[in-house]
Chain A
Amino acid sequence: MVLLENLSIPSFTAAVRAFFAAEGIVTVEDFLLHDLHKFLAVAEQSAVCVDVKEAVVEALSYLENLQEKWKDGLGLSQQPVGYLSLGCESIDKLLEGGIQEGTLTELVGASSTGKTQICMQAAACAAYNQQCSVIYVDTCGAFSSQRVAHMLGGMLGSLLQVEEQRTELTLSLKSIERIAVFDIFSLLTFLQGTYDKLLTESENWRLRLLIIDSVSSVISPVLGGNHSQGHALMISVGQILKKLAARQRLAILFTNHTVAGIGGQPRPALGGSWKSVPHTRLMLSHDSPRSDVYRMSILKHTGQCCSRQTTFRIGRAGLHSFDTREVATGR
């Protein structure tokens, strides 16, 4: 609730304020919910008519400047679209380049299907290849800097190259920032703080990827019971993530677990209201507990219409493409 008088509009004098209050408008929300035509018609008959009209116009233009401007299609189509590779060829091929900047990508899967591994690989790949900063929000304590270091080494190939590029690798590791968050309120505070920080110092801080592992572990505890506040908190998280992605051109990757669905097929947790938050949803599964082959399929994608899938392998040095034909020929 923001009081209108705090907007520091020059023509909002005491008399104008009294007139507004008499009509029941004290906060910005009241002002927006009110029928301005009727309000101005009533103002016509009062002594402060001119001031009131000016105040209305100034308030509307002030509020309009806080929002995004109208953009035309030509300008929008000429904005470059960047993709962040996930570090594995088969996954990048499935996603036609990787995670798109400015979108939210969700990884859905039961326990130990490779979600955290993909997150760490994405962080390593972005930090080294794109030389950008990465924020890793860890809610389950599964982040391991040793594993990320192995993945960085794995991207180079040989130990000799690792020795040669030791400084670059150290810099990449330093640009991945890990934040531990264990409840939804700290998550919201952190995301809002990141947004405010990006507004003021976006030039120095080359943040391009935000990873949250896992978002469902902080949201699930608040959903439940007969109140709707849990859903409101969940959608607030979704909104702040969308704002970060859209306004700051961040790529956002987060994980979700699965629950039982129709016919025993697992489906994503967090229910139907959360379905409309991510742009892309990827379902991960594991063929059998002893193999190291994992499967990824597309549940939802704004640019593609059918559900395609691919396989990959998780090894000591990170994720690799895996071609199912290799197994058939017995190589």
Chain B
Amino acid sequence: MATASKEEMLQWLTVSESARTMLKRVVERQQPSIAALPPLHRVALHGGHVLEVAGPSGSGKSEIMLQAIVSCILPKEWRGHKLGGSEKPAVFFDLNCHFDMMRLVKLLHSRVREALGQRISMEELSGRAVPAWSLSMGVDCLDELLATSLKRFYHKRCFNSFGFLVALKTIRPFLKDVEMEHGSSPQLLIIDSVGAFYWLDRSVRSAPSDKGRKTLSLHSVSEAVVRELSQLVLTFPTLLILATKTIIHGDTTKEYTNQVGSSYIDRNQQDEMLLSARSSVSTARNRKQGQSHREYMPAAWQGFVTHRLLVQGPFDSGKEGMFFTAKWDLPPSEREDRFIISNSGIELASGRS
């Protein structure tokens, strides 16, 4: 017993790595992973972080994800032009089945053309039902660049939580293959959206089971997902996890009017009531224009998230068109950025602090 502890102590005292290698390892890991594009430009994100972009339906969350994918898969430079990408693979879990491939290809095109200094006309961008390659008219070898970039993007659809868990448990060999094929480990893992199976998992109840078996519930499913993701991050330390979450707003100002064929029950309010009946964590109220939202994801997921961005929109500003707002919730900030979504991506409008 004494000799074992003496060996342990000696082992503990010996040098495992020099300060130089340690700094190199830590600094490499802390390199900002994705290009500082609005609205993610205020906080530097790197591998090991988990960013949750939360907002109501139609507020631009998926657009932010697409922008992050484009920055990830494009190369740093091409034929002398700076593209500013990371040239690393990205992995996308489509739990909502709302992924629009055409939109991603259009964004890639506009990013590349912008970097090449070419103006993109509206006609080219609004073309649809046309094979993607015909959009690259006039520039040789653009096809090749787009093909190599798109090969770094991987997409999978899951239709329930258990399919998602199966995908997470079997993803390690797949990511190793991806790493070998592209020479670098994946940088982005995107989940769109985490709350997709909330109601389905909540209604699942396991029968009173024999001892030893886990009860099937929303919390156990969430814990399993968080556990798999954390183990994945340990194996791939440069992996940055981005997740979108749909918020259901409750309106604090309501007006009921008589309308033909309308019902008086406010479904949004009912959704809120049912969500709050089960949420065990403190409710986060974000009062903006009289609206509040509640956290409905279980505590396991909330503890896993390291950064949170709240987006809202679209708002109509009259002459300037539709705009969206983004505000950092974790780390908390008072600044609110305004951005617009155009055909060529997200652009920052005049922000107010």
**By the criterion CB–CB under 8 Å, are A272 and B249 in contact?**
yes
A-B contacts, CB under 8 A, total: 223
List A contacts of B353 (CB < 8 A).
none
Task: Please name the residue on chain B nearest to A23 by beta carbon.
Answer: B212
Residues 309-348 of B, flagged 1 when their CB comes within 8 A of A and 0 if not, give 0000010000001100000000000000000011100000
Residues A303 and B102 in contact in the complex (CB < 8 Å), given A29-B162, A264-B257: yes
Is the beta-carbon distance between A96 and B212 smaller than 8 angstroms? no
Report how many residues on chain A are interfacial, defined by Cβ distance under 8 Å. 79
C-alpha gap A33/B62 in the complex (Å): 28
Enumerate chain B residues within 8 angstroms of A279, measured Cβ to Cβ. Answer: 98
Residues of B within 8 A of A78 (CB): 131-132
Q: Would A73 and B152 be within 8 Å (CB), given that A262-B254, A273-B199 are in contact?
A: yes
Over the window 106-119 of chain B, the binary record of Cβ atoms lying under 8 Å from chain A Cβ atoms (1 yes, 0 no) is: 00000000000000
Stretch at the interface among A47-55, A143-151, A178-186, A219-227: A219-227
The reply to whether the CB of A259 lies closer than 8 angstroms to some CB of chain B is yes
CB atoms of B151 and A33 under 8 A apart: no
* Cβ-defined contact, B203 with A260, below 8 A: no
Q: Are B96 and A111 in contact (CB under 8 A)?
A: no
A77/B132 in contact, CB under 8 A: yes
- Cβ of B57 and Cβ of A306 under 8 Å apart? no
Check if A231 sits within 8 Å of B274, measured CB to CB. Answer: yes
**Interchain CB contact under 8 A, B58 and A300:** yes
Residues of A within 8 A of B58 (CB): 275, 299-300
**Residues from 70 to 86 in A contacting B, C-beta threshold 8 Å:** 70-74, 76-83
Cross-interface CB contact of B342 among A23, A30, A305, cutoff 8 Å: A305
| Complex: A244 Cα to B160 Cα, angstroms | 14
A67 & B158 in contact (Cβ 8 Å cutoff): yes
Chain B CB within 8 A of A91 CB: no
Check if B28 is an interface residue, CB within 8 A of chain A: no
Q: Does the CB pair B259–A232 fall under 8 Å?
A: no
A63→B168 CA distance, assembly (Å): 12
Q: Which of B76-84, B265-273, B300-308 contacts A (4 or more CB under 8 A)?
A: B265-273
Interface-located stretch among B19-27, B39-47, B213-221? B213-221
Type the 1/0 row for A239-261, where 1 means its CB is closer than 8 Å to any CB of B. Answer: 10011011000000000011110
Kindly state the separation between the CA atoms of A77 and B105 in the bound complex, as whole angstroms.
7
How many B residues have CB within 8 A of the partner chain?
A: 89
How far is A61 from B257 in the complex, measured between Cα atoms in Å?
56
**A77 and B101 contacting across the interface, CB-CB below 8 Å:** yes
Whether B29 is near chain A, meaning CB under 8 Å from some CB there, is no
Cβ contact within 8 Å between B264 and A229: no
Chain B residues contacting A29 (CB-CB under 8 Å) are 162, 206, 216
Asked if A315 CB lies within 8 Å of chain B CBs, one says no
Decide if A235 is an interface residue (CB 8 Å cutoff): yes
Nearest A residue to B148 by beta-carbon distance? A74
Q: Which of A23, A33, A231 lies at the interface centre, i.e. has the most chain B CB atoms within 10 A of its CB?
A: A33
The answer to the question of A154 belonging to the interface, with a C-beta cut-off of 8 Å to chain B, is no
A330–B347 alpha-carbon span in the complex (Å)? 43
B256 close to chain A: CB less than 8 A: yes
Q: Which residues of A contact B126 (CB under 8 A)?
A: 96
Q: A228-B202, A258-B261 are in contact. Are A303 and B103 (CB under 8 A)?
A: yes
**Contact present for A266 and B103 (CB under 8 Å):** no
CB distance from A266 to the nearest CB of B (A): 6
Is A171 interfacial (CB-CB < 8 Å)?
no
In the complex formed, the residue of B with least CB distance to A216 is B263
Contact B132 A258 (CB under 8 A): no
Contacts of B132 in A (CB 8 A): 77-78
Binary flags per residue of A201-215, CB closer than 8 Å to B gives 1, else 0? 000000000000000
CA distance A74 to B263 in the complex (A): 47
A-to-B contact residues, CB < 8 Å: 1, 22-26, 28-30, 32-37, 60-61, 63-64, 66-74, 76-83, 96-97, 110-111, 220, 223-224, 226, 228-229, 231-232, 234-236, 239, 242-243, 245-246, 257-260, 262-264, 266, 269-273, 275-276, 279, 299-300, 302-303, 305-307
11 CB-based A-B contacts, threshold 8 Å? A30-B216, A33-B224, A70-B155, A72-B153, A73-B152, A110-B260, A229-B203, A231-B271, A272-B246, A273-B248, A276-B98
Q: A74-B147, A77-B102 are in contact. List 16 more A-B contacts (CB 8 A).
A: A24-B213, A28-B162, A33-B224, A36-B169, A66-B166, A71-B154, A76-B150, A78-B131, A226-B277, A235-B200, A246-B157, A257-B263, A258-B262, A266-B259, A273-B248, A276-B96
